[in-house]
Structure 1
Amino acid sequence: MNLVSLKTVLAVQRAGSIVSAAQALNLDPSNVSRTVSAVEAAVGLRIFERTTRSLRITEAGARYLARVAPLLDDLDAAQEEAQRMAVAPQGHLRMTASVAFAIERIVPLLPAFHAAYPDVTVELIPADANLGLLDQGLDLAVRLAAAPKGDLMSTRLMRTRYHVVASPGYLATAGAIDHPRALTGRNCLRFALPDFRSRWLFRQSAQDDVLEVEVGGRTLISNALALRDAARAGMGPVLLADWLIDRDLRAGTLVDALPDWDCTATQFDTGAFILYPSRAYLPRKTRAMIDFLKAELG
């Protein structure tokens, strides 16, 4: 027994006869009669009392179809809604990104996204912890790291490059930083993560050996926005990603202290990656956000 068979039985009930239902469904009456018999055999009750001239629904049949009809209507409605969503992005999109990236890069783009996709609501969850997509019910995440590994699908949103920056006031007082080793002994501002807090890595080209420089300082902060503010205030040099400081570099509120060096705390080839659970049957709302972010930030 399938949905088509149940819909055929309902059509017989509504039409009042097998012949009328067959005409409405553009089927042969004998096919409709066989379908009714098959459904009756499957459910174990007689739905219709029928003779060659009349058809009457039984009490048990009426109760059965009264329960079935709303379910079939709900399934039809669900299918129509799914088909509409396959045409135009709509629905509720849950996404996460680090606090700094969410505030600096995603929030400013939301007005344009909503203007392009008015039927999509966005729930943005800024979090520096890596929230699980499946157990948290998230549609996508933006992660800042080297190429991610695991079962999730991923696509690179943008490449990132790190810079050692400081305020003009700090450099005027403490002196210019003419070599990465000049950072040792300075009061550096450090991100409170194991890979960032004790040593930074430098190279002048991809072919050069990597120079590892020990760093220290009196201030450790677990938020990149707060680190940037501390650097703006002249508290010391800091290692930050380009997407977080590009406006400061243009405005002169921060200065790239080592412009001829590649800098990092982990790997030199890092970026922002979009992660999502599966490529199969990817909802249009999720695809719309992925394509939008790649167009705006890629």
Structure 2
Amino acid sequence: MDLENLRIFIEVARRGSFAAVARDHNIDPSSVSRVVASLEEELGIRLFQRTTRHLTLTESGNLYLCRVDSLLDELEHARDEALAVSVGPIGTLRVTTSVAFGHKFLVPLLPEFRDLFPDLKLELLLTDTNLDLVSERVDLAIRLGPNIQIGVICVKLFNTRYRVCVSPAYLEREKYLHVPDDLRVHKCLLFTLPNFRSRWLFRDNNGTVSEVPIEGDVVISNALGLRDCALAGMGPALLANWLIDEDITQGKLIDLFPNYHVTATDFETAAWLLYPSQTYLPNKVRVMINFLKRKCSDCK
């Protein structure tokens, strides 16, 4: 039995679409359909119930999927371990993260990673949508926020924190920004998520938390855009340290309240590594995780 045909069957079952799997492999949907039909003929059972709008597993197909999915994982594991001894990690590693984090943090690391593992193909999916790791065939995701518990393996990469920052030009023009409550009378630059655009939370060194309502007439769905507007002197913005610490060091932005912890959601936030819960961790994923942990060992 052709293992590639089994992989195609599993992907069709997860995606629920011949066309989606065909796009993933850059082949014609009829080719995927023929693979499934050939497998059904070989097994002597119908794997999918097809209608004009839906593709669902039959009872037999679901039972077959449950068995071959784990078996294929074991075969992949055996192959992965054997190859790692002689040639190192191979195959295609699909990684996803947000647009801003990808551009600012991950992309600059890729040349070094590529030099270390030249036989490993990379697919980097930069999107602000949280992709489903299984249906989208994602090997590793980097997500930002409080602790994430969504049925996947979740490992902290490094802690993050937020800062309210402005450009020196804005602070020269709008001098009265001494305490967080002063933000009430300023037009802030806002992120599209509900909490980020209505109030920011401040915690002082004594642990006292205060809530400051904020308003603004510039709302942007991407952190890179917010940073650019802050650099241009358009107003205060709440941005993550990994995005703007370099700007603060260079004097391009000013941290308005360095003695406060600031957030729009939770004070304990981090960058997290997520991967599908499986019986083993593929070598290609392991080397990326170890690489990122090593590069982030000094991140604060």
Which TM-score applies when normalising by structure 2?
A: 0.71
Matched, 1:144 2:111: no
Deviation sequence 1:121-166 (CA, Å, 0-9, x none)? 1100001111110010000100001010121001001110100000
Partner of 2:213: 214
> Kindly tell me: are residues 80 and 159 of structure 1, through their superposed partners in 2, closer, same or farther at Cα, counting changes over 3 Å?
closer
Give RMSD over aligned pairs: 1.7
Residue aligning to 1:286: 285
The C-alpha deviation readout for 1:205-236, integer Å capped at 9, x for no partner, is 3x523100000011000000000000000000
Identity %: 47
Shift of 1:81: 4.6
Aligned partners of 2:223 and 2:294: how far apart in 1? 25
Give the structure 2 partner of residue 67 of structure 1: none
Instruction: Identify the residue that residue 26 of structure 2 maps to in structure 1.
Output: none
Count of residues in correspondence between the two structures: 221
Report if the CA contact (8 A) 1:100-1:225 is conserved. yes
Aligned pair in 2 of structure 1 residues 296, 199: CA closer, same or farther (>3 Å)?
same
Matching residue of 1:233: 232
Unpaired segments ≥5 residues, structure 2: 1-74
Residue by residue over 1:70-107, the C-alpha shift from the partner in whole angstroms, topping out at 9 and shown as x without a partner, is xxxxxxx9898544334321110001000000000000
State the alpha-carbon separation in 2 of the partners of residues 113 and 126 from structure 1.
18
User: Given the alignment of the two structures, is residue 160 of structure 1 paired with residue 164 of structure 2, yes or no?
Assistant: no
SS in 1 for 2:245: helix
Q: After the TM superposition, which residues 45-124 of structure 1 pair with which residues of structure 2 at under 5 Å, given as runs? A: 81-87=79-85, 88-124=88-124
Length-normalised TM-score, structure 1:
0.71
Counterpart position of 2:260: 261
Bigger radius of gyration among the two = 1
In the other structure, the counterpart of 1:197 is: 197
The structure-2 alpha-carbon separation of the partners of 1:279 and 1:170, relative to structure 1 and needing over 3 Å to count, comes to same
Q: Is the 8 A contact 1:94 1:125 kept in 2?
A: yes
Gaps of 5+ in 1: 1-76
Q: Distance in 1 between matches of 2:174 and 2:77?
A: 67
| CA 159–80 in structure 1, closer or farther in 2 if over 3 Å, else same | closer
SS in 1 for 2:163: strand
Q: Does the 8 Å contact 2:80/2:89 carry over to 1?
A: no
Distance 1:157 1:79, change over 3 A: closer
C-alpha spacing 1:174/1:100, structure 2 compared with 1 (3 Å): same
Residues 280/186 of structure 1: CA separation in 2 closer, same or farther (3 Å cut): same
Where has structure 1 moved over 4 Å in runs of 4 or more? Answer: 77-81
Q: Secondary structure at the match of 1:149?
A: coil
